[in-house]
Amino acid sequence: MENDTNAYVQPYDKRRSAVHPPPADRAHRPSVSTRILTAQRGFFMAASTFRGVLPATITPFTTDGDLDRDALVSYTQWMESIPGVTGLVVNGHAGEGTSLTREERIEVIRLTKETVGDRLAVIAGVGGDGSRVVAGEAADAAEAGADAVLVFPAGSWLRFGYQEGAPRERYEAVRAASGLPMILFNFPDATHATYDLDTILSILELDGVVAIKDGARSMIRWDTELPVIRQRFPDVPVLTCQDEFLLHTMWEADGALVGYGALVPDLMVDLLEKARRKDYAAAKEAYDRMAPLTKVVYHRRSHIESTPVMKLGLVHRGVLRHATVRPPLMPMDDLVAQEVAAALKAAGIEAA
């Protein structure tokens, strides 16, 4: 698909910081709702997509470790049945996207989109290291029917960091290759791949960037940078993915794009709605009920264990038949399964 992104791109001046207003000539930049509606080939993804819960879904496997297509369709149908779920994010961390082959990633997108049709947005995670690689993944996603892409930082940046201008170029490459709307994904502040505020603002200037998924996991940055983003880009929805800080961030977020939603989308919707009403007492009560589950899923030896733990939870809920994961992820033992069952019960969710 041919795309002239340069028609909307303004040169980025590093001297333009949080205290500098945007240039007057950015008035031609389309609003988010306009950009979303005009960017799609078939499904018109409304801005309201980003005002709800967008679970980063898991990928079911057979006991032999192959992609379980029937289980994926069934799981997707279950997700669609939850009121307040406005989109599904596939091929991300929770979905073991880096353990899928190219053909499997395409198949996951295709099956998910065929299942939900135009009723939900399907957003594909793309995270290849090089710009050509990630652009190719985005082109595959567009061909498979994705409505948007969630753009991960290059994996090499996690250890080594990035050169100035490289993140913006990455988004330009994805846009040019796919023509799809893009969600900016900011990684945890503890990594070298996190984007500073100037980098975030430079990416948000690009046509085709329709939302930001904030995963910096720094409440200092959340409280100080969010007002700047709101002032500069008031039409760009901000999605929290702060699984461990949901109560704090739900108050200001437009929506939630969280791996936690792969297991308890209903609880995520409930918390978001109570926070949106500014009902602190009700939101705190809901959050506290989830606390044992949050601990079991995320407060572990390694954060990467959240996916096998959530699959155990989905077995307990009757959504999956078994909790098979692919190496390098390892299965969890029966004791963890018991902990998950107890935590789900404490959160008000009984076994299916």
Q: What's the first-to-final CA gap in the chain, in angstroms?
A: 46
pLDDT of 279-299, one tens digit each?
A: 999 999 999 999 999 999 999
4, pLDDT greater than 60: no
Q: Per-residue pLDDT for 348 more than 60?
A: yes
Whether residue 42 has pLDDT greater than 50 = no
State yes or no: cis peptide before 331, omega within 30 of 0: no
Q: How far apart are CA 157 and CA 350, in angstroms?
A: 42
CB neighbour burial string for 201-239, b if at least 16 within 10 angstroms, e if fewer: bbbbbbbbbbbbbbbbbbeebbeebbeebeebbeebbbb
32, HSE (Cβ side, Cα atoms, 13 Å): 21
Provide the pLDDT for residue 34.
40
Shortest CA distance to 262 belongs to which of 214, 351, 323, 212?
323
pLDDT tens digit sequence for 104-151: 999 999 999 999 999 999 999 999 999 999 999 999 999 999 999 999
Rounded to the nearest 5°, which phi and psi values hold at 351?
A: -65, 145
Whether 1 and 208 have beta carbons less than 8 Å apart is answered as no
pLDDT of amino acid 3 = 39
The predicted structure's pLDDT at residue 245: 86
Res 17 pLDDT > 60: no
Domain boundaries, the chain: 26-277
Cα distances (Å, whole numbers) of residue 67 to 31, 96, 130, 144, 233: 39, 11, 26, 17, 40
pLDDT (tens digit per residue) in 235-261: 999 999 988 789 999 999 999 999 999
Given a contact cutoff of 8 angstroms between Cβ atoms, the answer to whether 79 and 43 are in contact is no
Residue 186 belongs to what H/E stretch?
Answer: strand 182-186
Q: What is the pLDDT of residue 303?
A: 86
Work out the percent of the chain whose per-residue pLDDT is above 70: 87
pLDDT recorded at residue 49: 86
Strand partners, 87: 121
Arithmetic mean of pLDDT over the chain: 88
CB contact set of 326 (below 8 Å; sequence gap of 6+): 61, 65, 96, 99
Question: Mapped to the 3 state alphabet, what secondary structure does 256-300 carry?
Answer: ECCHHHHCCHHHHHHHHHHHHCCCHHHHHHHHHHHHHHHHHHHCC
- Average of pLDDT values for 47-66? 94
Decide if pLDDT at 165 tops 60. Answer: yes
Q: Which of 267, 318, 269, 259 is nearest to 292 (CA)?
A: 267
- Amino acid identity at 240: T
Confidence at residue 31, expressed as pLDDT on a 0 to 100 scale: 43
Across residues 59-75, what is the average pLDDT? Answer: 99
Give the per-residue pLDDT at 201.
Answer: 98
pTM of the entire structure?
A: 0.87
pLDDT given for residue 47 in this prediction: 66
Q: Is the pLDDT of residue 101 over 80?
A: yes
The architecture of the domain spanning 26-277 is Alpha-Beta Barrel (3.20)
Quick: pLDDT tens for 303-323. Answer: 899 999 999 999 999 999 999
Q: Give the CB-side neighbour count of residue 332, counting CA atoms within 13 A.
A: 25
* pLDDT range class, residue 63, cuts 50, 70, 90: very high
Q: Which two tokens stand for residue 320?
A: 């999956």
What integer is the mean pLDDT of 172-187?
97
For residue 269, is pLDDT > 50? yes
